[in-house]
Amino acid sequence: MNIAIASCQNLPDWEKDDIPFFNELDELGVSYQILAWDSDTDWSQFDACLLRTTWDYQERIDEFMQWIKSVSTQTRLINSRAIVEWNSHKSYLKELEHAGIRITPSEWLQQGQSYDVKALMDKHGWQKGFLKPLVGANARECLRFSIRSEFELELAQKHIDKLCPVEDLVLQPYLSSVETFGETSGIFFGGKYSHGTRKVPVKGDFRVQDDYGASDYVYHLTDDELEQAHKAIQYITEKAGPPLYARVDFLHHKGGPVFVNELELIEPSLFFRHGGRESCKKFAQELVNTLQKTH
């Protein structure tokens, strides 16, 4: 069994989390090569291509989606092309909401339209807002603001005026608990819960990614989080087939409900450091089982 593991040209030196997973592939006798997705590679020589750390794709989305289309004709793509295409634009959250999954309240801002951010905030009664693109990762072009500050409100309006001509956005209430409690995540392999993590930003920040100095801790999903996560995974399974791996991210409203913030099916960090060797073994074995079914 010979697989390609898709990465990127400029993977940060600090990214070591997948190493124990690679060790489990070695234990199972799986041959693999770690290759940049945009490298000059004959992908047909591999039994499969596993997407992992393609962390520059959001800046080159059209090029990346063309590659997804191409590589999926040459070998088995994991997760599948149908899943990746669905997950590449955050409008999928609207579908999850319609399917009864609890997402953060959202106002969807369509590319090419004009919007008055103050009027939208007043419509919902939101005092603090959060803007983010519907294609993006790693907190790209995300902005928090308060309508109590004329300066911040003006920044938010300028943000919309700058981005909406070229891309879709979503406006949400800013859940300040992200600054203290953080964002929680559940990691699933073959639809089964493996482990969880809680990501906490540096003081005063909202960005929970390693790149911005955030910390992460072992976390066990609550029953409510597990229920929402399983619903989300079941939805995509029925729509595009079962994902081999999935990470479901949650935001928490202080004293209120938990919301699905993202369903990560393309290149999420899987936090093996919190799942231990058992999580690596689960993922490696699920991968092997999946590929053996196709032979």
Domain annotation for the chain: domains and CATH numbers: 2-87+282-293 (3.40.50), 92-103+177-271 (3.30.470.20), 107-174 (3.30.1490)
At residue 240, the pLDDT reads: 96
pLDDT tops 70 at residue 295: no
Going by pLDDT thresholds of 50, 70 and 90, the confidence category of residue 181 is: very high
- Mean pLDDT for the stretch of residues 53-75: 94
CA distance 234 to 229: 9
Buried b (16+ CB within 10 A) or exposed e, 116-148: ebeebbeeeebebbbbbbbbbbebeeebbbbbe
At residue 158, the pLDDT reads: 97
Summary mean pLDDT of the chain: 94
Tell me if the bond preceding 138 is cis, omega within 30° of 0. Answer: no
Tens of pLDDT along 150-170? 999 999 999 999 999 999 999
Q: Return the CA Rg of the chain.
A: 19
Which token pair is 179? 């600054």
Which token pair is 19? 């190493």
User: Which residues lie below 8 Å from residue 86, measured CB to CB, with a gap of 6+?
Assistant: 92, 236, 239, 240, 265
3-state secondary structure of 14: coil
CA distance 255 to 188: 27
Going by pLDDT thresholds of 50, 70 and 90, the confidence category of residue 294 is: low
CA distance 8 to 36: 4
CA distance 289 to 266: 20
pLDDT tops 80 at residue 138: no
